[in-house]
Amino acid sequence: MPLTDMPLDELVGYRPQCRAPEDFDAFWADTLAEARRHGEAVKAEPVTDRYLLRTVEVDDVRFPGWQGEPVAAWLIRPRGAQGPLPVVVTYIGYSGGRGLPTDHLLWSAAGYAELVVDTRGQGHDTPDRGEGHGTQWAAGFMTRGIDSPQHYYYRRLMTDCVRAVDAVAELPGLDPERVIVTGGSQGGGLSLSVAGLAPDRVAAVLPDVPFLCHYRRAAECAGDGPYEEIAAYLRWHSPHRVTDAFATLAYFDGVHFAQRATAPALFSVGLMDPVCPPSTVYAAFNHYAGQDRSITVWPFADHGGGYSSTPPVQLAWLRERGLTPG
């Protein structure tokens, strides 16, 4: 995959003018306040024996998300660990869900608790049945409800993700003062949204090759992946739809969440990424409000970023900031 975006020296200084809608903060304050009015208790069922695992304890979790609808998650903890543990809240890439607990053993092997959040409508355990879905113009989720911010799919999903962090305080063995949010691609974009929407509840954020950033640029130059759903929608509709669509997407742009996030942050970017062009990642990184921000650059990487080299970098970075178990 060749370089198809800016050279690195231009990316480092790439900080496009990105102004959030005037009612951005009010929109999200109202959205989250409404979600939090649904006060159902978090439920956790021990299921360790079902998966024949000896070194971890696993709970099948349900917590209230958008409008109180139950969202599935796995809580995975090192067996016998003395809590409260720092907890990694993991969000999943596009078209995926929480899978099985056996897919998520790395963080517990390093001594952390991990809450793996299912993705509404994309995973198998959390349907997207929120009211007011709005219009969908293409396969996938990028245009579902794009006719208005109130109906847009990511309003519901990002609300779920914030509510996952809210749920930490009700789950056993976790330290709500040491919550680390992370994910790759869509999961990276979702972690940025949570860092911006709940800055007082996030101790660190690890957005790995983050999606959902700088939509206009992404739709114009992504060569593969979900941003093409937006381009396809705009290709077949009259020009006024362009303005309307990006007006909706502005409420869900990782750049605007980054402008409101303050926790220490470790981004990553692949310079040969055709799915999340590196300029879109740098747009969010260079607008990030927190002073402690770093980015790992993988010069010849595609959308996989550093692949298996990524976790050791993240673990070392967390250790430097004292966010370790024990």
* 116/171 Cα distance (integer angstroms): 13
Q: Give 76's strand partners.
A: 58, 114
As given in the structure block, the two tokens for residue 275 are 């799915």
* 278/10 Cα distance (integer angstroms): 11
As given in the structure block, the two tokens for residue 123 are 């995973």
Active site residues: 185, 273, 303
State the Rg of the chain over Cα: 19
* 313/253 Cα distance (integer angstroms): 26
* 26/102 Cα distance (integer angstroms): 40
